[in-house]
């Protein structure tokens, strides 16, 4: 028997390790939200603290592009926003995209791990008179996801979590996605020389004040999706992470439970619909 080879990117951890990893992310992003909130979302000199006041409008206007991308993806797969009453945005930051999403969906739930980011997002939404958005903090084992939703969206967020957390977040999201619902998210799947060893990483845990970049193998993501009954509709390149990361934009749809699909097939057979 050939000896097993340890994976280059480890992504399975126990509950206590997951809690420690999440605490690290929470601490890092709370600090970034206090010190460099706009830069932490869009890491450009344009949004450093000394430039933030003059660039705030440009920052929020950039969220229109993400919203357009969502609507275009939905149009390609033949879906209308009106079909999806609850939209869940994971990693809303300062409300950059949230402040555009509310126009297209009946109810938006937007969550983030950082209370300092959420405080700014709440202020912006209030100033703009936006009332159909609920803000939540992504804490605990449910990552802020407690009830079902029809669309799950995340971009420029999962990459700042270690592989075990990315896997756990996706697993939770897929489990709460309603039947017929859409998951649209971006995540890096690899980079030259990238590896993640849980034991080695745990030795380095501590306050850094800087965000990290991570990846989760594409096959792991597809296996998690398949296990939750999600079917891939689109799998596209997304260069938003920048070099050297290989990043993908996933568009998945949650299938109905098998018994309901079979029941629907039985009704079609009984009442016709075939040729001949």
Helix axes 163-176, 218-227, angle to 10 degrees: 30
pLDDT mean across residues, the chain: 91
What is the per-residue pLDDT across 137-176, written as a single tens digit (0 to 9) for each? 998 889 999 999 999 999 999 999 999 999 999 999 999 9
- Do residues 62 and 41 lie in contact, with contact meaning Cβ atoms separated by under 8 Å? no
C-alpha neighbours within 13 Å on the C-beta side of residue 271: 5
What is the per-residue pLDDT across 189-233, written as a single tens digit (0 to 9) for each? 999 999 999 999 999 887 666 889 999 999 999 999 999 999 999
Region 5-26: what's the mean pLDDT?
Answer: 92
Query: Per-domain residue ranges for the chain?
Result: 15-271
Region 179-197: what's the mean pLDDT?
Answer: 97
Stated pTM of the model: 0.91
15-271: CATH, from 3.30.720.200, 3.40.50.150, 3.40.50.970, 3.40.800.10: 3.40.50.150
What is the per-residue pLDDT across 52-76, written as a single tens digit (0 to 9) for each? 889 999 999 999 999 999 999 999 9
């Amino acid at each position: 028997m050939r000896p097993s080879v340890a994976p280059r990117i480890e992504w399975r951890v126990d509950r206590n390790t997951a809690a420690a990893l999440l605490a690290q992310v929470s601490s890092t992003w709370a600090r970034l939200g206090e010190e460099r909130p706009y830069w932490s979302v869009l890491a450009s000199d344009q949004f450093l603290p000394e430039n933030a006041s003059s660039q705030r409008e440009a920052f929020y206007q950039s969220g229109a592009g993400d919203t357009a991308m969502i609507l275009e993806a939905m149009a390609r797969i033949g879906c209308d926003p009106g079909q999806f009453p609850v939209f869940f945005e994971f990693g809303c930051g300062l409300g950059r995209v949230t402040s555009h999403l509310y126009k297209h969906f009946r109810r938006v739930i937007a969550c983030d791990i950082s209370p300092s980011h959420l405080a700014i997002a709440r202020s912006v939404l209030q100033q703009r008179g936006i009332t159909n958005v609920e803000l939540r903090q992504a804490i605990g084992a449910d990552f802020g996801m407690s009830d079902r939703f029809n669309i799950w969206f995340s971009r420029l967020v999962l990459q700042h979590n270690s592989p075990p957390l990315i896997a756990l977040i996706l697993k939770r999201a897929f489990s709460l996605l309603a039947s017929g619902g859409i998951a649209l998210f971006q995540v890096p799947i690899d980079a030259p020389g990238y590896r993640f060893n849980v034991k080695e990483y745990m030795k380095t845990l501590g306050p850094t004040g800087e965000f990290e970049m991570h990846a989760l193998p594409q096959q792991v993501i597809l296996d998690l999706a398949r296990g939750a009954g999600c079917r891939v509709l689109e799998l596209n390149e997304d260069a938003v992470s920048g070099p050297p990361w290989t990043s993908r934009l996933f568009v998945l749809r949650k299938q109905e439970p098998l018994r309901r699909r079979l029941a629907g097939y039985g009704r079609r057979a009984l009442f016709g619909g075939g040729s001949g």
